[in-house]
């Protein structure tokens, strides 16, 4: 099965791309929306690529790329009465919520901001810029993934050792 592409939202004050870079990998726990859960549970596979998106912050946008490193398994926070994500209707036999895990791949040199995505003719069809949509885990078309990647990591100018790099 070819890799799929996703966008996953997070509030950077809760968990940012720098947190992921530090941790290496993390479980994507706490998703409590059925549509988002279904995407993770039914379609996400190890090796899929993820656009890591910062929301509810001064400059919302895609800040890096991650890779799915573990396919879906029950989210343990649903069983924990002390967790804000506790779900009294979930049981170990019949878990209701599932999570995948992701691994850090890269942080963009320049974040691809929401405004930039909205303004880019190649990206106007992306789900994340459709009005009213708020899914925290959503599929992304490969062309859109590649375009975002291109915008976030502009090809470095070849600089020879004789160039004007200053200390």
Partner DNA sequence: GCCAACGTTGGC
Interface residues toward DNA, by CB under 7 A: 9, 32-35, 55-57, 60, 114-115, 131-136
- Whose Cβ is closer to DNA: residue 3's or residue 79's? 79
Name the burial class of residue 34, with classes exposed (0-12), middle (13-18) and buried (19+) by CB atoms within 10 angstroms of its CB. exposed
Question: Rounded to an integer, what distance in angstroms lies between the CA atom of residue 131 and that of residue 117?
Answer: 13
- Whose Cβ is closer to DNA: residue 124's or residue 133's? 133
- Whose Cβ is closer to DNA: residue 32's or residue 67's? 32
Sheet holding 49-54, edge to edge: 25-27, 98-113, 61-74, 49-54, 5-10, 137-140
Shortest distance, position 37 Cβ to DNA, whole Å: 9
Question: Rounded to an integer, what distance in angstroms lies between the CA atom of residue 53 and that of residue 116?
Answer: 13
- Whose Cβ is closer to DNA: residue 3's or residue 97's? 97
Shortest distance, position 159 Cβ to DNA, whole Å: 35
Shortest distance, position 122 Cβ to DNA, whole Å: 19
Question: Rounded to an integer, what distance in angstroms lies between the CA atom of residue 83 and that of residue 87?
Answer: 9
Question: By the 8 A CB rule, do 111 and 54 touch?
Answer: yes
Shortest distance, position 139 Cβ to DNA, whole Å: 14
């Amino acid at each position: 099965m070819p890799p799929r592409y996703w966008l996953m939202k997070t509030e950077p004050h809760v968990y940012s791309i720098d947190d992921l870079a530090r941790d290496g990998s993390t479980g994507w726990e706490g998703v409590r929306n059925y549509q988002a859960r279904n995407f993770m549970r039914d379609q996400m596979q190890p090796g899929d690529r993820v656009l890591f998106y910062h929301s509810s912050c001064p400059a919302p946008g895609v800040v890096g790329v991650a890779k799915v490193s573990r396919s879906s398994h029950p989210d343990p926070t649903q069983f924990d009465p002390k967790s804000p994500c506790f779900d009294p209707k979930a049981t170990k036999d019949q878990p209701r919520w599932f999570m995948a895990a992701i691994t850090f791949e890269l942080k963009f040199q320049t974040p691809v901001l929401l405004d930039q995505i909205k303004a880019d003719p190649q990206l106007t069809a992306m789900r994340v810029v459709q009005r009213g949509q708020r899914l925290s885990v959503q599929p992304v078309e490969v062309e859109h993934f590649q375009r975002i990647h291109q915008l976030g990591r502009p090809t470095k100018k070849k600089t020879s050792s004789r160039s004007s790099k200053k200390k």
